[in-house]
């Protein structure tokens, strides 16, 4: 696992995405980019601490990648089984982003 900035170019399975926003866009379109499918699991922050306000609107986002739509769907099904899916190295390539921050966790097979 490593951390990179959300604005950095990312190489996954031989395909280049310009930043996390392009990755999110492809996951919403449910279309592959150069043969790479992107799936996204989004969860709202469920807790508050002394630094949070009722107006805070943060999300946890887990992105998974595969060469087929079926494989992406299988990874997403496994992620949905967890209450707090977070980062799972065993489902690489994968990105975990808590949109409260400007960096994200990525599996080691994702490069800049």
Mean pLDDT by 10 residues, the chain (112 residues): 95 97 95 97 68 63 96 92 75 89 92 86
What is the model's pLDDT at position 85? 63
Give the pLDDT score at 16: 98
Strand 2-5 and strand 103-106: the pairing is antiparallel
In a domain, 111, yes or no: no
Strands (E), 7-107: 10-12, 15-17, 37-44, 59-66, 94-98, 103-106
Specify if 25 maps to a domain: yes
Reported as half-sphere exposure (CB side, CA atoms, 13 A), residue 101 has a value of: 11
Torsion, CA 72, CA 34, CA 112, CA 90, rounded to 10? 20
**What's the total number of domains in the chain?**
1
Q: Examine residue 81 and state whether it is found in any structural domain, yes or no.
A: yes
Q: Cα-Cα-Cα-Cα dihedral of 12, 9, 85, 41, to 10°?
A: -90
- Quote the pTM value: 0.85
Look up the domain containing 75 and give its range: 2-106
């Amino acid at each position: 696992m490593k951390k990179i900035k959300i604005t950095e170019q990312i190489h996954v399975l031989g395909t280049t995405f310009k930043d996390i926003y392009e990755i999110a866009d492809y996951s919403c379109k449910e279309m592959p980019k150069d043969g790479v499918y992107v799936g996204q699991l989004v969860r709202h922050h469920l807790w508050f601490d002394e630094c949070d306000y009722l107006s805070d609107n943060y999300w946890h986002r887990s992105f998974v990648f595969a060469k087929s739509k079926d494989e992406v769907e299988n990874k997403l099904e496994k992620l949905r089984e967890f209450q707090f899916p977070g980062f799972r190295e065993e489902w690489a390539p994968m990105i975990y982003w808590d949109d409260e921050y400007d960096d994200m966790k990525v599996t080691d097979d994702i490069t800049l």
